[in-house]
A and B are shown apart, each in its own frame.
Chain A
Amino acid sequence: MQDPRLRLAAVTALSVAAFSSTAGAVAAFAWWLLFTPRTRALPRPGLLLPLIAMIAAAALVSELGGGAGLSYFIRMTVILLIAAWAYAATEEGEVLAVAVWALGDRIGFEIGLIAEMGLSGLSVIRQEIDQVRAAMALKGMRPGLRTVVPLAVTLIVTELRRSEEVARLLMVRGYAHGGRICPRFRKGAWDIPAALSALIAVILSVLPVGDVFILLGRSF
């Protein structure tokens, strides 16, 4: 999807659908298979697999406690896939453009700028994790529970320092609030069909799908 406004709308709809019910999650997964580059939009296995493992662990605990663990696992994994695709598809400046288009030059610009900085921070964090892991490997430290605390401390401190530097830089450049940009959006041939299809997932998530099949079964 090229138009970031439609992409954001689709991501919101699919996330709501996947979070609401297992049927919605299955529909959102079908959408992901049809309208995204699928595995090409996924982060590297070193990042994705631990996240899936964390979801699986929480699901297992829930299942053992008598909860709907399997449903939780399916719903959260689909949300993760949608989020990974949305992150991979987002280009620099798009979030700011959408926020200004939706909310104007003042509040929209503020929200968009914060979101842009957050997104750029994510890629910086990824690079920093690689650097810290390399530094730990040089000291002979293997990845594990013992390395989690120093890794987290380094990331938090460096991110706080970066935020401070960016804030200072904005101040030095005379930034007070708001700003003006003229957002322009490209639209792909499949953008509107894909966005409308995302709504089907929402409908399926709120529809009592089991009842529909029972009714269909009775009519035959």
Chain B
Amino acid sequence: MRVELEDLRFSRGPFSLRGTGAFGEGVHLVSGPVGGGKSTLALLLAGLLSPTEGAIRRHGIASSLLLLQFPEYHITGSTVAGEVRSWGLEPDDVLVQADLSRRADDDPFRLSRGELRRLTLTCAILQNPDLLLLDEPFSSLDCAAKRKACRMIEGREEGITIIFSHEQAVLPRVDTISEMEAGALTGLGGVPGAIPRWRHAPAYLRYVLEQGARPENIRLADAREALCRTRG
């Protein structure tokens, strides 16, 4: 499985996006500031926008799914259980995993943004598409829910997962890092080699690098471990 961006260009009004690169099987992080073009790239990769120039080639991908930045746009069911069914899933297991077992009969609009995020994220991951695109999957989540979301993302055994996020506190283990800034996509390469080149790295990673440590991955636990190794 592979997604290739061949001299991709997209323009809408004053905003333009450009990028070249490829995403293979594994978990990929596309980082960058708000307004840099991450959501637009996600829509392009999902096939919901068409490139102005260039192309996006998919190889060996039978199914794809994009989780939108604002979870309320996904709602089509009149109850939480109905919402899960609208994703083609059985509610029981999904609601347990999303910690929403007692909310099955509630109106999904009665859920908080965080609860709704947990619900849609769980549905998207359990659908297990070949290409899973997650636009700001950690927004509105507390630290415990973010860690759980990271475990679920890391638990995907196959397929391509691309996370578009400016998250700076809780991140999953990833295979590659790219940066999206002012509409330009820059691939930094595989982890751990890409970490020192990552300009939008979280503060804890920058601190660890300043201390001369070399973390194996981008999680806080990896940073801690690298520091321990350096300091004995």
Spell out A's residues near B (CB within 8 Å). 128, 131-132, 134-139, 141, 147, 150, 153-154, 157-158
Q: Which among A135, A153, A157, A158 is the interface contact of B68 at CB below 8 angstroms?
A: A135
Residue B230 at the chain A interface, CB threshold 8 Å: no
Q: CA separation between A157 and B108, bound complex, in Å?
A: 11
Contact check, B75 vs A138: say whether CB atoms are below 8 A apart. no
Q: Which among A134, A138, A157 is the interface contact of B109 at CB below 8 angstroms?
A: A157
The count of A-to-B residue pairs whose CB atoms sit within 8 angstroms is 41
A153: chain B residues at CB < 8 Å are: 75, 109
Contact check, B68 vs A131: say whether CB atoms are below 8 A apart. yes
Greatest chain A CB density within 10 A among B68, B73, B75, B87 is at B73
B77: chain A residues at CB < 8 Å are: 150
Contact check, B76 vs A131: say whether CB atoms are below 8 A apart. no
Contact check, A136 vs B65: say whether CB atoms are below 8 A apart. no
How far does the Cβ of A200 sit from chain B's closest Cβ, in whole Å? 36
Which 7 A-B pairs give the minimum distances between C-beta atoms?
Answer: A150-B76, A131-B73, A135-B73, A135-B74, A134-B48, A157-B109, A132-B73
Spell out B's residues near A (CB within 8 Å). 43, 46, 48, 65-66, 68, 70, 72-77, 86-88, 109
B43: chain A residues at CB < 8 Å are: 134
Q: CA separation between A135 and B77, bound complex, in Å?
A: 13
The 22 sampled A-B contact pairs (Cβ below 8 Å) are: A131-B68, A131-B70, A131-B73, A132-B73, A134-B43, A134-B48, A134-B66, A134-B73, A135-B68, A137-B48, A138-B46, A138-B65, A138-B68, A141-B76, A150-B75, A150-B76, A150-B77, A153-B109, A154-B72, A154-B75, A157-B72, A157-B109
Q: Which among A131, A132, A134, A139 is the interface contact of B86 at CB below 8 angstroms?
A: A139
